[in-house]
Structure 1
Amino acid sequence: MVSTLDDTKRLSIATKLADMRALQNLLINNEQQFIENCTDDDIRHRLQNMLEDDRKNLGVLDTAIVQYGVKGESTTSTQKMIEQIQERMASSDLSLFEKVQEHELLKHRQTMAGLLIHKAAQVVGADIEAAIAPLNTVNFENRAHQEQLKGILEIFGVRELTGLEAKQGLWARVQDAVAALTGVVGSVVTRTDSEMSIRELLLMDHSKADILFMEILNASDPQKIQEYFGQLYKDIKVHGTAEEQVLYPAIRPYYEHTQEIFEQTDEVMEMLDEIKPVDPASSEFKAKIKQLRTAVRTHINQEENDIFPKLRDNFSHDQLLQMATEFKTAKSKLQSSIADSELAKH
């Protein structure tokens, strides 16, 4: 019997994602201050580009968190650390060099947090790896930013120590490093969160559901089965409800079988609730999971084969992006509601 929809490993990853989001806001605030206080036009330009990346990456983080499907809160230690750094950044006791030096360390911290989440995902579940795929953008761009910041620190540091300009050797190495990173990542680095349409968000959800079904059916440990089903239960409930709120009303004027899609979604929701109290160790559990997978796959096939062309033919690019934003917002609110409900039970 599934007593809880939460798993401690998944909650730990959710907490680390929340820490990353809190730190991302700090990075943005720092860079805004640096731009205001810097008189070097070249460095201001580099910082402005970094700021634009980080604003975009905040949206990427939000997407990864919503796709992950488990709500977490930033730790007290992270919140205290951020407050302390905000005080130091506002202080006149530190030079601009010292503030940027501290900022570079924060970039390193953010990079390592992202890499740690990916490593944790590899040992917890393939569905997590799929959900947090957008995080690749943040991780690689933070590494590129670290190289940029090293060049800025060299210039500021030499000026502070000698009053003279630094030789530009490091900038060449920085440019080579950034170019290499960009070459490795390819389109992932240049992709912006705003380019992710409703179709892509739906496909990510569909792929994650497929992986969770595979993980459940291949697992033999009842505890692992319970963990995977707990995630599947939440994901499908949130996905289906968000579709009913955002996607189906929008597509109804162009798709005559919209009511059928509503009914399919409701049927899947009922099947989930029927499975929830069943013992994961019983043969009945996996039999019901197979029936659920068939129902979900039928729904997905109809959505991808019938609704996706309707989206392409009847909605502008901007409308599809707006629908994606509304879908992501609806999912986030539903996930928070589930998290609050689980917390109230404890």
Structure 2
Amino acid sequence: MGHGGDVIAELTTDHQEVEDFFKEIEGLPSGDSRRKDCADKVTIELVRHSVAEEAYLYPAVREHLPDGDALADKELEDHAAAERIMKDLEGCDADDPKFDSLINKLMTEIREHIAEEEGILFPRMRAMCSAETLSELGDKVRTAKKTAPTRPHPSAPDKPPANKLLAPGVGLVDRLRDMMSGRGKD
């Protein structure tokens, strides 16, 4: 969840963790309950990651990149689409006929999003921002992930200041639900 380094290193490590979960899911047979467990874990990580990006990375993209508004808006659209898929996935067990279709759709969406961020957005941020700015953003992202929600909330605000105000409270409720249900545990 918190890896250290600047914002790009932090988020790239998150991306690798998500890919590791995807590979684990792909390595399990259809209908295996462990696929649902992995899907829950990847959802937890993706939601925390997305909330942190929405709170800190995308406002910085708007501020530092000449076409930052358009880039940030595209990233937010990607997050919204993934969050709707995760919400649908949340209600499916691994043996549900919709599960495989939804998890495959999520993996495709997220892999495309990661490729765009790592191939376009991150290099541009590295070129336009000081090392100090990227480091400060990394600290903010790590802090945000600690209190972020762990479940998809497609109708929640995705732009500051509302997202920064609401996310910690929603995150607390989500973590309590996870603790009571055992969701996301090994």
33, 55, 79: which is aligned to 1:223? 33
Quote the Cα distance in structure 2 between the aligned partners of 1:264 and 1:210: 17
1:269 aligns to 2:78 (yes or no): no
Report deviation, 1:345: 6.4
Q: CA deviation at 1:283?
A: 4.3
CA contact (8 A) 1:206 1:300 kept: yes
- Supply the distance in 1 between the matched residues of 2:46 and 2:39 (Cα, whole angstroms): 10
- Structure richer in helix, relative to its length: 1
Bigger Rg, which one: 1
Measured against aligned partners, the alpha-carbon deviations of 1:294-327 in whole angstroms (never above 9, x if no partner) come to 1111111111112112211111111111100000
Distance 1:237 1:316, change over 3 A: same
Question: Following the alignment from structure 1 to structure 2, what is the Cα–Cα distance between the partners of residues 328 and 260?
Answer: 23
Which position in structure 2 is the counterpart of 1:185? none
1:209 pairs, out of 10, 18, 24, with: 18
Q: CA deviation at 1:247?
A: 0.4
Shift of 1:343: 3.8
- TM-score norm. by structure 1 comes to 0.42
Tell me the CA shift for residue 288 of structure 1. 1.5
8 Å Cα contact 2:52-2:144 kept in structure 1: yes
Q: Could you give the per-residue CA deviations for residues 267-293 of structure 1, whole angstroms, max 9, x where no partner exists?
A: 101110011111202343122211111
Aligned to 1:240: 50
Residue of structure 2 in register with 1:307 after alignment: 121
Residues 159-179 of structure 1 deviation map (CA, whole Å, 9 limit, x = unaligned):
xxxxxxxxxxxxxxxxxxxxx
Contact 2:61 2:71 (C-alpha < 8 Å) held by counterparts: no
**Any conservation in 2 of the 1:252–1:258 contact (CA below 8 Å)?**
yes
Three-state SS of the structure 1 residue aligned to 2:25 is: helix
Structure-2 separation of matches of 1:287 and 1:266: 18
Task: Please give the alpha-carbon distance, in whole angstroms, between the structure 1 residues aligned to 2:146 and 2:56.
Answer: 13
User: How far is 1:250 from its partner?
Assistant: 0.7
TM-score for both structures, normalised by structure 2: 0.76
Identical aligned pairs, as a percentage?
A: 22
The number of equivalent residue pairs is 155
Q: Distance in 2 between matches of 1:233 and 1:208?
A: 12
Structure 1 unpaired stretches of 5+ = 1-65, 68-133, 135-192
Matches of 2:181 and 2:103, distance apart in 1 = 26
Distance, in Å, in 2 between the alignment partners of 1:243 and 1:251 is 10
Distance 2:27 2:181 in 1: 30
Match of 1:257, SS state, is helix
User: Offset of 1:243 from its aligned partner?
Assistant: 0.5
**Unaligned residue ranges in structure 2 (runs of 5+):** 151-170
Equivalent position of 1:250 in the other structure: 60
Output aligned runs, 1:112-151, within 5 Å: none
One-letter identity of the residue aligned with 1:281 = D
Q: Which runs of 4+ in 1 moved over 2 A?
A: 220-223, 335-338, 340-346
Distance change >3 Å, CA 306–CA 247, structure 1 → 2 = same
User: CA separation in 2, counterparts of 1:245 and 1:307?
Assistant: 16
Do residues 329 (structure 1) and 143 (structure 2) align? yes
